Amino acid sequence: MSTIIHKNLIPKDKRIILHDNKALNLISFHTSDPTTINDWFQRGKKPILWDPKSWELVQHTKWKLHTDKDSSVISVEACVL
């Protein structure tokens, strides 16, 4: 089974935000500026906010997060279907 790695383009210093006393990771494969996306949304119980176009790329696949030592999402590895 082959996979593709989608790099999270949000810079590390802008990738983790605080909302309601919760640290959330932002993921976007399309933009490095999180202020250009108005409709971040959370899928599942993980504290991750996806940009909708990025979620569309992985939502119907099996995928795995790659994080750094600070639990910041560096990339997402998705199976090619």
What are the residue boundaries of the structural domains of the chain, listed by start? 3-79
pLDDT, tens digit (0-9, with 9 covering 90-100), for 7-49: 999 999 999 999 888 889 999 999 999 999 999 999 988 899 9
Q: Is the pLDDT of residue 81 over 80?
A: no
The DSSP H or E segment spanning 77 is strand 73-79
The angle subtended at Cα 27 by Cα 35 and Cα 15, nearest 5°, is 65
- CA separation for the pair 49, 42 (Å, rounded): 5
Mean pLDDT of 60-70: 94
Q: Tell me the pTM.
A: 0.89
Find how far residue 13's CA is from the centre of its chain.
14
Residue 27 pLDDT? 97
Residue 44 pLDDT? 86
